[in-house]
Chain A
Amino acid sequence: MALSQERLGLYNPDKPMENRLTDLGPRHFWQYLPPVIQNNYGKWLYHDILEPGILVHVSETGDKVFTVRCGGCRFMTVEHVREICEIADKHCDGYVRFTTRNNIEFMTDSQNKMEALKKDLMSRKHVSGSYKLPIGGTGAGITNIVHTQGYLHCHTPATDASSMVKAVMDELFDEFQGMNLPAQVRVSMACCLNMCGAVHCSDIALLGYHRKPPIVDHEVLDSVCEIPLVISACPTAAISPTKTEDGKKSVKIKEERCMFCGNCYTMCMAVPLMDKEGDCVTIMAGGKVSNRISPPKFSKVVVPGVPNTFPRFPEVCRDVKKIINAYASDANKYERVGDWAERIGWEKFFEKCDLPFTEHLIDDYRLAYDTYRTSTQFKFTEAAWDVSRAAGGIE
């Protein structure tokens, strides 16, 4: 049975329940595992990273599988997927997979096939000159940036995702193709606080953030939203009911309580908060999800806001590079960014990364106490002398 070509295909709008198949779930994975994977499922012994982007896994049976990992945009047109299929057909017997971080992995069962595949991939570029499938993303380097929809599809973003990822990965392309950092650096990006993709535990997190309270569309609010839902959506109780001059039920917002999370807008389209100048990019650092050596940690805000300078985000790129360069030159082997910052002390982090420490970076939300330094263990930096001076303690 071929894919239908009639406008409504197999669907009959006059009889919507007819022939309806539901709850089928996903296709079974086993049929999509290449033979070398099926034959060695659960029998893998060890792996080696032969060069950036190229892995070999060796099985108890002696079989080997060579994996070539390529950067992907996450956003892909069918043209790109078809090209991926062309490569998979040519070199991988028609098999291919995608990774959790939006990379593409081609697998072969021999070194020769892998070399041919590698050559093919390296030769493919867009007419504009960018690689279509750059090889890299393994080991102590930087792999793909997990990100969200941004302006391509989202209704709540404070910035755009695909363009920022392109800009930052262009800057970090050497690190994508290299493995010379102390440990892997996971960079993630979310276009708003909903963080679709969990950037809250990344070595470096780029977060779109609003900075202006919502504008209330009093004209329609009561007819498109349930007011109690809007009010209860606000985690700081900044929203309360009100009546407009012409007697319409609506809401008002206590500006000093608003922290621009946008949850009200998620619940009600009549309180938009995006703004060209208000929206900015917050940079966070020091998170990790793995349990290796140190427990998982949250990312911490290290740059409260840089502007949304489309399309290349030079300020974001500049600050990300500062953090990575400082980390690369100073951290011990196996230390993640967060481990390094904790070992040297966050005051040294800001000094070495040449980032200013402003009041925005001190927690004043719930559980702020947990972040206070309640000890005399500190190192002296310029920031410390500034405080002494301001207090009249030194000249």
Chain B
Amino acid sequence: MAFEPREEQKKLKYDELRIYSDDELKNYTEEELKNFKIKHDIPMCDDLEKGPWPSFVADAKREALHRRKLGDDRMLIERDVVEDLLGQLEISFEHGETHWKHGGIVGVFGYGGGVIGRYSDLQDRFPSIAHFHTMRVNQPASKFYDTDYLRSLCDLWEYRGSGMMNMHGSTGDIIFLGTFTDQLEPIFYELGHVLQQDLGGSGSNLRTPSCCIGKARCEWSCIDTQDLCYELTHYYQDELHRPAFPYKFKFKFDGCPNCCVASIARSDMSFIGTWRDNIRIDQEAVQAYIGGEIMPNAGAHAGKDWGKFDIQKEVIGLCPTGCMGMENGKLVIDDKECTRCMHCINTMPRALRPGTDTGVSLLFGAKAPILEGAQMAVLTIPFMKVEHPYDNIKEVAEKVWDWWMEEGKNRERLGELIQRKGIPRFCEVLGIPPMPQMVKEPRSNPYVFWKKEDVPGGFERSIDDYRTRHAR
């Protein structure tokens, strides 16, 4: 099953695109690297080279050496960016304070985001990171790459930027960490014309959507997270590049309630794949688990001897709704009572699988603590069938945006607006009735804002009429 990209994708071939020759790429020896010292004294950074976990300092140093040995005209920004960054990091450790100024407004023409301005506040000491802007580069859905693509990005970035990246930023973009203002447009042009790809988003916009690995490799994915992510990212390019919202807005796509991309915790519109029919049970495999022939939970607990697998204790007894049991040696699930928490499926993946009538649950309003407090996304639409091009999803998203743009205060996240205006109002906006599944429990304060049209006789009353019954 192949997918249709929106534009024909020209194949990127590194050897046709490259900037650096093989000699330039391998321009230092292991010996030289061992003896290499950057131009600043960085004892605390050096200490971070020790220990088993990959050392970002060791990695930075080899890039520093690589740049040292490249020809003068083989990079368009300062050679010493990496060394100066490490030098400034060391000073930051000494001072216990960062040395980056507030970002300025830099970007590429016509886009309101995608570039984060950054300036050092120690410019005399570390002149090559005087400007050190970041570019967000939209990653391919679920972060699969090939080496032609990655190598081309590397050459572009080492030539026109610092050679330092984040794979990836928290939202999901590839981060190009540090370049000068005059290279922003040239890099943008290279990304677009040569690599046929775009920047990601930043600011009060739709941020770059991201998704879990989904159907590419996960047996539990109920929705095609990649296709949804790709389609919505392309469809909403305008919202992504031209900030027009009260604040940031994030889509994140999880294939199942395990929530590996944490959409329920950090996205304004959280898509969580689910099913509405029955969990598929392979009774033979259930017996194999009981008999100890298959390790439970795909072997995730193999590091410790937890004893013989006990289906009663480990699966049936842990079911949060108690909807499972053994009957006549067979595992039975009362699916109407199942809340699809994924525990039994996670524990016996060869025996249990999600249903086949799949769709997505939509939850809204998650956010980090700033400003009014942390929020998880609230379950709003329990189930929607999703099929390319996802028109029903787009309708919902646009209703949400219309309301939020109209009513939201500056820098008010959707979740905060929902809190301020109430879920009943949110339901009205979406054109959906309320359901008990939206709440953990009904309200315990009885302060209901009854509407006048719902109260017999309305609110108009005359005091004279009242007085005919009640003396002063």
Contacts and interface: CB of A to CB of B under 8 A. Distances in A.
A198 B96 contact: no
Interface string B54-96: 1111111011001000000000100000100100110011111
Given A24-B198, A169-B53, A170-B53, A96 B96 contact: no
Given A21-B193, A333-B306, A126 B59 contact: yes
Interface in B235-272: 237-238, 241, 257-262, 264-266
Nearest to B170: A197
B53 A98 contact: no
A131 B54 contact: yes
B390 interface: no
Contacts of A129: 49-50
A73 interface: yes
Contact of A298 (B216, B340, B374): B374
A124 to B, nearest CB: 10
Contacts of B126: none
Interface stretch (B328-336, B343-351, B450-458): B343-351
A193 B369 contact: yes
Q: Please list the 7 inter-chain residue pairs (A to B) with the smallest Cβ-Cβ separation, ordered nearest first.
A: A276-B96, A180-B303, A139-B300, A28-B5, A170-B51, A128-B49, A77-B63
A77 B96 contact: no
Given A77-B62, A131-B54, A152-B177, A3 B140 contact: no
A76 B167 contact: yes
Contact of A97 (B52, B145, B257): B145
Given A20-B110, A28-B230, 19 more contacts: A11-B185, A13-B185, A44-B219, A65-B217, A71-B53, A75-B56, A100-B260, A127-B58, A130-B55, A130-B58, A133-B54, A139-B301, A149-B166, A181-B303, A274-B97, A292-B257, A293-B341, A311-B93, A334-B318
Contact of B145 (A1, A76, A96, A178): A96
B25 interface: yes
Given A78-B63, A291-B259, A73 B56 contact: yes
A294 B215 CA distance: 25
B198 A26 contact: yes
Interface string A1-29: 11111011111010011011111111111
Interface string B220-236: 01001010001001100
Contact of A153 (B58, B142, B178, B215): B178
Contact of B186 (A8, A45, A127): A8
Nearest to A307: B96
Interface of A: 1-5, 7-11, 13, 16-17, 19-34, 37-38, 41-42, 44-52, 55, 57, 65, 67, 71-82, 84-85, 88-89, 94-100, 102, 104, 107, 126-134, 138-141, 146, 148-157, 160, 162-163, 165-167, 169-170, 173, 176, 178-181, 184, 193-198, 200-201, 233, 235, 261, 263, 265, 269, 274-277, 279, 289-294, 296, 298, 308, 310-312, 333-334, 365-367
A1 B194 contact: yes
A335 to B, nearest CB: 9
B17 to A, nearest CB: 5
B54 A41 contact: no
Given A22-B192, A23-B237, A127-B58, A45 B219 contact: yes
B385 interface: no
Given A11-B186, A29-B141, A47-B349, A77 B164 contact: yes
B159 interface: yes
B467 interface: no
A294 B92 CA distance: 41
Given A98-B143, A160-B93, A31 B154 contact: no
A276 B97 contact: yes
Given A28-B5, A29-B140, A126-B49, A74 B168 contact: yes
25 contacts: A7-B76, A13-B185, A22-B111, A25-B234, A26-B233, A28-B3, A28-B140, A30-B2, A45-B350, A46-B298, A73-B59, A81-B150, A81-B153, A88-B146, A95-B144, A96-B150, A131-B52, A134-B52, A149-B166, A152-B177, A155-B101, A166-B48, A173-B52, A197-B266, A311-B44
B76 to A, nearest CB: 6
B379 to A, nearest CB: 10
A97 B89 contact: no
Majority DSSP secondary structure for residues of A touching B: loop
B399 to A, nearest CB: 23
Interface in B132-166: 132, 134, 138-160, 163-166
Given A82-B154, A276-B95, A74 B185 contact: no
Interface string B339-374: 111110011011001000000000000101111111
Given A21-B193, A152-B89, A263-B370, A82 B151 contact: yes
Contact of A98 (B51, B82, B118, B168): B168
Given A13-B185, A296-B259, A75 B47 contact: no
B381 interface: no
A105 to B, nearest CB: 9
**Residue of A78, A163, A184 most packed against chain B (CB within 10 A):** A78
Contacts of B30: 127
B298 A49 contact: yes
Interface stretch (B6-14, B400-408, B420-428, B429-437): B6-14
A140 B300 contact: yes
B266 A198 contact: yes
Contacts of B1: 41-42
A267 B28 CA distance: 45
Contacts of B167: 72, 74, 76, 81, 98, 102, 104
A49 B297 CA distance: 9
A155 B98 contact: yes
Contacts of B194: 1-4, 10
A32 B146 contact: yes
Contacts of A179: 299-304
Nearest to B258: A290
A279 B92 CA distance: 13
B44 A22 contact: no
Given A20-B109, A42-B1, A153-B132, A78 B374 contact: no
A32 B145 contact: yes
Contacts of A73: 54-56, 59
Nearest to B193: A10
A329 to B, nearest CB: 11
A367 B419 CA distance: 13
B453 to A, nearest CB: 32
Given A141-B303, A179-B300, A80 B59 contact: yes
Nearest to B164: A77
A48 B53 CA distance: 25
Contacts of A75: 56, 59-60, 164-166, 177
**Residue of B132, B134, B264, B372 most packed against chain A (CB within 10 A):** B264
Nearest to A270: B102
A318 to B, nearest CB: 16
B118 A153 contact: yes
Given A22-B192, A27-B140, A49-B300, A77 B198 contact: no
Given A57-B217, A367-B373, A130 B49 contact: yes
